Amino acid sequence: MLKDKIVLVTGASSGIGEATALALSAEGARVAAGARRADRLAALAGKAPGEVLALDLDVTDQDSVRAAVAAAVDRFGGLDVLVNNAGVMLNGPIAGADTAEWTRMVETNLLGSMYAVHAALPHLLERKGTVLQVSSTSGRIASAGSGVYAATKFGINAFSESLRQEVTAQGVRVVLVEPGFVSTELTTHITDPAIREFARNMAASMRTLQPEDIANAVVYALGQPDHVAVNEILVRPTDQTQ
């Protein structure tokens, strides 16, 4: 079902994005992989079984987003799927927070995904494609120390449902994938020492998900026939309680 589908993956230089790009390439999709770390994308293109177009992409910059979508369409002739994966997690208490980190999360996680949808949607409407949003369990349950990150993910969930209602009658499917604790670089970006240690201990306490586990969920959702819309997939580690 995915052979020759044209897919743009954001945040493709590591973690879930990298694993998803590789999994889709293995399924025969033509993949445009966007991120800011060009060296990582070059390595990804070298590992992928099929052709991967590496794109310099900063989702917080609307011009960069538009240019990436245009480059994917120019290379492959259209766009069938947008996988919105780019994100940062800079958790910490609200009191005393560095609000620049709040801005970075909102601009990357929420506005960045919105910009990508806005740029890609005309092409997806033309080809009756799919928007796949990588959200989080934090888009369902907020917890102490993750207020702003959770707010961005709640926002993604709300935006996705509104989008679904607007475009589903036009043949565009909207998929929300909500991972629980995944072993990725995200926790290493946390600057608050206590929260970073908490995340490290949490990871050590369970059999965490691997990026490939989420990539498998993405492949499943995107591989369904056109009349089937898998709108939401919640994937937690078996050992995760929240």
The predicted-structure confidence for 64-106, as pLDDT tens digits, reads as follows: 999 999 999 999 999 999 999 999 999 999 999 999 999 999 9
The predicted-structure confidence for 5-34, as pLDDT tens digits, reads as follows: 999 999 999 999 999 999 999 999 999 999
239: which DSSP letter? T
Three-state SS string over 50-91 comes to CCEEEEECCCCCHHHHHHHHHHHHHHHCCCCEEEECCCCCCC
This prediction's pTM? 0.92
182: which DSSP letter? B
Q: Which of 76, 102, 115, 149 is catalytic?
A: 149
The predicted-structure confidence for 99-150, as pLDDT tens digits, reads as follows: 999 999 999 999 999 999 999 999 999 999 999 999 999 999 999 999 999 9
**How would DSSP label each residue in 136-156?**
-GGGT---TT-HHHHHHHHHH
| Alpha-carbon separation of residue 237 from 137, 145, 207 (angstroms) | 11, 21, 7
149 catalytic per annotation = yes
